[in-house]
Amino acid sequence: MSKVTFITEDGNEVVAQDATGNLMEIARENDVEGILGACGGCCSCGTCHVRVHPDWLGKTGRATEAEQDLFDIEEGTDERSRLSCQVEMSDSLDGIVVEVAPF
């Protein structure tokens, strides 16, 4: 039973249970405000930007080179930034907490 908690920009928590797929897909299925996923998960739009809770960074890892290329041209990203379409849910991420971030 994989659980994901999204914290939206206004501080609301959306908890997704039995989550499968990548975090962008899970956010969209659960109507998480602020996650658009405009490119469908091609790592090219940045509308699925989240910040991983510090406790979980060790498990998700940091942004890949492709994600970083996108972050380099935008403001408001930091070392916890990930594109949620690039984070695939797995047993090891059960309970993960991410914050929805503006892009």
Binder to ligand FES among 83, 97, 98, 101 (CB under 6 A)?
Answer: 83
Residue nearest to ligand FES (CB): 85
Nearer to ligand FES, 45 or 57 (CB): 45
**Of 51, 38, 56, nearest in space to 82 by CA:** 51
Binder to ligand FES among 7, 16, 32, 48 (CB under 6 A)?
Answer: 48
Long-range CB contacts (< 8 A, 24+ apart) of 58-62?
Answer: 59/92, 59/93, 59/96, 60/87, 60/93, 60/96
Can you tell me the distance from the alpha carbon of 98 to that of 89, in angstroms, rounded to the nearest whole number?
12
**Per-residue contact track with ligand FES, 8 to 27, x per CB under 6 A?**
----------------x---
Site of interaction with ligand FES (CB under 6 A) = 24, 37-39, 41-48, 83, 85
